[in-house]
Structure formats: structure tokens, C-alpha cells
Amino acid sequence: NLSDKLNSVFKKLKGHGKLSEKNIDEGLREVRMALLEADAHYRVVKQLIADIRARAIGQEVLESLTPAQQVIKIVNEELTALMGSEKEALNLSGAMPQAVMLVGLQGSGKTTTAGKLAVHLRKNGKKPYLVPLDVYRPAAIDQLKKLGEQLSVPVFDSSPEMDPVEIAQKARQKAPSEGCDTLVLDTAGRLHVDSELMNELSRIQKAIEPSDVLLIADAMTGQDAVNMAESFDQALDLGGIVLTKMDGDARGGAALSIKAVTGKPVKFIGVGEKTNALEEFHPDRMASRILGMGDMLSFIEKAQDAVDEKKAADLEKKLRKNQFTLEDFRDQMTQVRKMGSLNDLIKMIPGANKSKQLNKLDVDERELVRIEAIINSMTPAERRNHNIVNGSRRKRIAKGSGTKVQDVNKLLKNYSQVLKMMKKFNKGGMRAMTRNMMP
Ligand code: GDP
Ligand code: MG
């Protein structure tokens, strides 16, 4: 990956002094290749390299960083700036009921994202109303209806005979009686951008005046997504972009260039087919991902904030001796909770994407409280050795913590998976990992 390559380029340059032009150019060649390989827009890459070069040349090598780390830091900062620096939220200003309109080509993930957004809105105290506007494909209406049922989100009963504008207006009138305050408009798509589609979308936009218009773009299509975004933006003046299928082998090129080319921010990324697989887009995290460091930079920052040194050292010792008990697991959860979403954190661990065990590991935030209760209901001996927790003990623990036996089972399974994963990291050297990644 890119950070490995940069490390090897700069390995020779030890200690102090200035970063030389020759050195930097050698490093930047790697950066350029990596970005083009990631399918970033060539114009964007050119500008970026020029900016990084200007900043890097003549810089004093900081005492705390190796030259490679210093260049990585600059590259990381420039990549972040290119993608917009700050996280951009959904625009929900204006009169009730509000509307978020989803547009994009067929198969880009509009309907799936409509469901995901409904979940997101509900989490943020909104009452979403799903509105199918793809009247050309009856199956598309059914798809959204099913999604709504599954999520217990009301879906407007669109009929294929109606005009999309009419449907949207009727849905808006009906929303209050359905207890809804935010429409999610799932529009029709085509295989290619065409004027008929744009006219229809534009009519809907004028009639409804949605507070946000999101282009749903398939990240796997790389530069095509960027070009398509330009066309949609010209016709509709987008509010933002959702890049879907970022869980696949999307190389990040679209994420990197789309803001620079269109001026419109990526607001969310889709990271799977399930309805919870939507994440807010963080430019800094994406930059680290493109650099190939997982989300290590933000992980390190957060870790430094939340975990105090001594506890971290204690933990490392325990990990090395494979003495990571359920009690440590509980404490670790509490620490981690201070740092943000547990699932986010797990993803930041380098290699976690590839780890089947970690992908299977499904930790719901709300479960943390329950997990704590369960572990607190165990005897010290049980916490030290989970292998003795048999059926009758599980029943007792469930009763004591006010949970179900299945909850206890799940916790023990998660714990033993973490244990396995940690043993693996131990072999690879937890310490080496930390040392390599520390900026
Ligand atoms: P639409 O035609 O734009 O409405 O697209 P759909 O919502 O029907 O999605 C097309 C396909 O892409 C479906 O098979 C979805 O499950 C899949 N899909 C959508 N978003 C994602 C994502 O973020 N990750 C993955 N892996 N698949 C996705
Ligand atoms: Mg659809």
C-alpha cells in the first residue's frame, strides 16, 4: 500500500536535515501512481501533487517524525482538504414536511439508500416517509414497499399509472396523517444520463423543493461516477452525493475526485446491502483509507485521547500473555465507548476488513450496556475463565443481569472471537503494529 511504499522510499533518509527535492519527488512519484491506480481524476492528481510538493520541499524534518511519516502527514492533510475537510450533514432546513430527493442511474443503489436513510433519519428523531417515484418499473415500487415493511417505515402507496410529480405532491399532503415529517423520494433511474430523465427529475424538484437532493453514485464505477455527477449537478444543482458500494473493491478514486470536480460534498457512503450499512462521510478517514492505513490516523488520535497510557500498557502486557479476561473485555468496551462507535473502531484496525472473524463480529452500541450487566453478573472465576460458563451458569447469569440466555451466548461468542483475533495480532506483534503506526 501507499504508506508502505513511502516508508521504503524515505527509509534511507534518517535523522534530521531538510527533505530534499530528489527525495520528495521520488516519494511523490509513488503517491501519483497510487492515486491514478485508485482511479482518481488525472487533473485532480496533478494539482494535488503540486500542492504537496510545494508544502514538503524545504521542510525541516521534525524530531518526532521520520521523513516518510512527515510526507505521509502532508499527503494525508492534502487528501483530506481535497475531499472537503469537514463532515457535511444532510440538509433538512425549511418547512415541514421536508423532503430528501434521491437521484441516480439504475442500479446505483437509490432504493437501498432510501431505506438506509429512513433508518438514519429515524435515529435522528425524524419520522421518515418513503415515497416510490420509479413508476416505470412496478418491481421498484414493491422493492421499496418491502423495505418499508421490514423497517416499519410508512411507504406511500404509489401506483404506476400516476405521474411522479403528482405522487410526490400527494405524498406530501398525506405525510402528516401518517405521522411523518420527512419524505424520502426514491426516483426512477436510467442506464445512462438522458434528457427525458433529467426533465422528469427537474419537474419533481421544482414542484416539491426538497431541502436536499442527493446523487446516489456507485463508487465502483470510478471516474464514470464523477462524470455522471457533473451531468446531474448541471441539471439539478445537487445538495450532495452518496457513494454506494464502498464495501466492494472501490478504490477510492471517486471519493477523492468528486468534490474537487463538482464542488459538491460526499455526505454518506454505502458500505453494504443491509439497511444499517450507511456511514457519514469523513474526509479525514477516507484520506487515511486511500493512503492504505485503515483508519489508523484517526484511530491513533482517538486512542491517544481516550486511553490513558498506563492502562494501554497494562492491556498490552495482558494481551501478550494471553490473559485478556472478560473483565478486561468489559473495561475495554467502556474505554472504547468513549472513543465513538465500536463498529467504526473495529474497522479501523489494520487488516480488519480482511478478517472474517471481525466482519462476523456484530456489536450493537445499545448492547454495550447489556454486556456490562452480563459480565457484572458473573463470578470472578467465570470472568477469568469463560470456558467454565456452562448451560446452568448461563441461565443464572441471564437471570441475574435481566437478559436472555441467548444474550449471554452471544457475548461469550463475541468475546472468544476477540480473544482469537488478539492472539493472532500477538503473533504478528501488537507492539510492532503500534510502533509502526504511531506518527
Ligand atoms: P437503484 O436501481 O438505484 O434503486 O438500486 P438498488 O437500490 O435497487 O440497488 C442495486 C443493487 O446494489 C442491489 O443489489 C443492492 O443490494 C446493491 N447495493 C446498493 N447499495 C450498496 C452498497 O452500499 N454496498 C453493496 N455491496 N451493495 C449495494
Ligand atoms: Mg430503485
Instruction: Please state the domain extents for the chain.
Output: 2-82, 98-290, 296-437
Starting from the CA of residue 107, give the closest ligand: 1
CATH 1.20.910.10 assigned to 98-290: no
Residues (pLDDT < 50) of the chain are: 14-16, 294-307, 350, 360-361, 428-439
Q: What is the pLDDT at residue 253?
A: 82
Residues that constitute the known binding site for GTP? 104-111, 186-190, 244-247
Of the candidates 133, 124, 9, the residue with the CA atom closest to the CA atom of residue 72: 9
Q: What is the pLDDT at residue 10?
A: 59
Q: How far is CA 20 from CA 6, 24, 199, 418, in A?
A: 14, 6, 55, 44
Ligand 1 pocket test, pick from 102, 111, 112 with the greatest ligand atom count within 8 Å of Cβ, gives: 112
Q: Which atom of ligand 1 is nearest to the CA of 134?
A: 4
Q: What count of other Cβ atoms lies within 10 Å of the Cβ of residue 293?
A: 23
Residue 27 CA, chain-centre distance (Å), reads 28
pTM for the full model?
A: 0.68
Q: What is the pLDDT at residue 191?
A: 87
Q: What is the DSSP string of 92-130?
A: --SSSSEEEEEE--TTSSHHHHHHHHHHHHHHTT--EEE
Q: What is the pLDDT at residue 338?
A: 58
Query: Which residues, at least 6 apart from 219, have a Cβ–Cβ distance to it below 8 Å?
Result: 225, 243, 244, 245, 246, 248, 250, 252, 254, 255, 269
Confirm if 79 and 52 have CB atoms less than 8 A apart: no
Query: Would you tell me which CATH number, out of the four given (2.40.110.10, 3.30.450.80, 1.10.260.30, 3.30.365.10), belongs to the domain 296-437?
Result: 1.10.260.30
Taking the centre of ligand 1 as the mean of its atom positions, its distance from the CA of residue 273, in whole angstroms, is 6
Taking the centre of ligand 1 as the mean of its atom positions, its distance from the CA of residue 173, in whole angstroms, is 29
Q: Which atom of ligand 1 is nearest to the CA of 271?
A: 23
ipTM over 0.90: yes
Of the candidates 118, 123, 275, 125, the residue with the CA atom closest to the CA atom of residue 186: 118
Q: What is the dihedral of CA 10, 16, 21, 24, to 10 degrees?
A: 30
Query: Would you tell me which CATH number, out of the four given (3.40.50.720, 1.20.120.140, 1.10.10.10, 1.10.580.10), belongs to the domain 2-82?
Result: 1.20.120.140
Q: What is the pLDDT at residue 416?
A: 83
Interatomic CA distance for residues 87 and 107, integer angstroms? 26
Q: What is the pLDDT at residue 207?
A: 96
Q: What is the pLDDT at residue 18?
A: 61
Q: What is the pLDDT at residue 347?
A: 56
Taking the centre of ligand 2 as the mean of its atom positions, its distance from the CA of residue 348, in whole angstroms, is 31
Taking the centre of ligand 1 as the mean of its atom positions, its distance from the CA of residue 131, in whole angstroms, is 17
Interatomic CA distance for residues 91 and 100, integer angstroms? 8
Ligand 1 pocket test, pick from 120, 191, 193, 244 with the greatest ligand atom count within 8 Å of Cβ, gives: 244
Taking the centre of ligand 1 as the mean of its atom positions, its distance from the CA of residue 132, in whole angstroms, is 16
Q: What are the pocket residues of ligand 1 if the criterion is a CB atom closer than 6 Å to any ligand atom?
A: 104, 106-112, 189, 216, 244-245, 247-248, 270-273, 277
Summarize pLDDT for 54-66 with one digit per residue, the tens: 888 767 655 556 6
Nearest residue (by CA) to ligand 1, atom 28, is: 273
Q: Which atom of ligand 1 is nearest to the CA of 248?
A: 26
